[in-house]
Each structure stands twice: as structure tokens, then as C-alpha cells.
């Protein structure tokens, strides 16, 4: 028997992927198409990665097939909200019935990404190239940390922090 180091965060990540898959499967139930994988009208969210550098955060979001006019980005000090709509190409015929198999995601989406540090909202740079949105988010310089000594002997005293 070999011993291995317990990695609780790896197990939580695995459980999260399994739960995401379960909810995706539940959402796709009720579609009467091949393998239940036709995603017309189904909510989806773009994949995101955040990289922290010394003075800024770099946020990248994969948003393939979206036109800039169909994309909206809002940035607050502690979050980024990306929303929009991936529209299916329309023609004179009803193509939805002619699909044999489709794994494309169509419809509206919204993703709110909490940020690990506060950012300056007045100096954000953006780039949207080949379906990847890149935001350069400058960090707020660290404010001086306030330290308060609490007198534990007098438990009726309260100190506002």
C-alpha cells in the first residue's frame, strides 16, 4: 500500500467539475435532438483566467464567435462583468431542424468575475482579438494598514474598525 499526500483543493476542484457537468446535463435535458447536445437558447459562460503581476491583473476570457457589438464589459473595483449574446447565423430556411449534431453555444450569457485585489477603474486597457478578450487592470496601491489594539480586560468596550 502506498501513501499519498492528501490534496483537499484538488479534490474540491474535481468535485466542482463534476457538479458543473451534472448541472450542464440537467440543463440540456428536455432537448429532443441527437444526444441532447443542441444548445440553442441555453445559458453559457465564457472561460476565464486571471494572472496577477506586480502592478496589474491580466484577465483573459474566451468568447469565440462573438461580435464586439454583441459584447458588454463592466468593471468595478472588485469585479468584472462580461455579458453579451452569441447569435446563431440565420437564413431563410429553418436550419435548427437540419442539424445532425451541434456543440456550439448560442444565446445570452453573463459572467461576474470577483477580483482578488482592488483595481483602479480609470486606467483599464482592453483588447479583443481572435475571440479572446484581454483586460489589463491596474491594481490600487496598498493603503496603509491600520492596527488597533483591543483591550480585552473590559469586554463591554467596543472598537470600530
Higher pLDDT, 149 or 61: 61
CA distance 56 to 136: 7
CA distance 67 to 84: 9
CA angle, 106 then 107 then 109, to 5° = 115
Adjacency order of strands within the sheet including 125-129? 47-52, 56-62, 132-138, 125-129
pTM over 0.75: no
Residue 36 dihedral angles phi and psi, to the nearest 5°: 65, 25
The answer, yes or no, to whether residue 60 has pLDDT greater than 90, is: yes
**pLDDT tens for residues 71-106?**
899 998 889 999 888 777 665 555 556 767 777 777
pLDDT score of 137: 93
CA distance 31 to 15: 26
The answer, yes or no, to whether residue 142 has pLDDT greater than 70, is: no
CA distance 45 to 24: 11
| SS3 at position 119 | strand
pLDDT band at 57 (very low <50, low <70, confident <90, very high): very high
- Residue 160 cell numbers, joined: 470600530
User: What is the overall mean pLDDT for the chain?
Assistant: 76
The three-state (H, E, C) secondary structure of 97-116, written as one string:
HHCCCCCCECEEEEEEEECC
Amino acid at each position: 500500500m502506498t501513501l499519498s499526500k492528501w490534496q483537499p483543493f484538488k479534490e474540491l476542484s474535481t468535485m466542482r467539475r463534476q457538479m458543473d457537468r451534472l448541472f450542464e446535463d440537467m440543463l440540456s435535458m428536455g432537448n429532443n435532438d441527437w444526444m441532447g447536445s443542441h444548445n440553442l437558447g441555453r445559458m453559457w459562460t465564457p472561460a476565464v483566467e486571471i494572472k496577477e503581476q506586480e502592478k496589474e491583473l491580466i484577465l483573459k476570457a474566451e468568447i469565440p464567435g462573438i461580435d464586439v457589438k454583441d459584447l458588454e464589459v463592466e468593471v468595478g473595483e472588485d469585479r468584472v462583468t462580461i455579458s453579451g449574446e452569441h447569435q446563431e447565423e440565420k437564413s431563410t430556411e429553418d436550419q435548427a431542424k437540419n442539424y445532425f449534431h451541434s456543440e456550439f453555444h448560442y444565446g445570452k450569457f453573463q459572467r461576474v468575475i470577483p477580483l482578488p485585489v482592488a483595481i483602479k477603474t480609470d486606467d483599464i486597457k482592453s483588447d479583443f482579438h481572435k475571440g479572446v478578450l484581454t483586460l489589463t487592470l491596474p491594481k490600487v496601491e496598498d493603503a496603509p494598514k491600520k492596527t488597533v489594539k483591543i483591550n480585552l480586560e473590559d469586554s463591554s468596550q467596543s472598537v470600530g474598525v
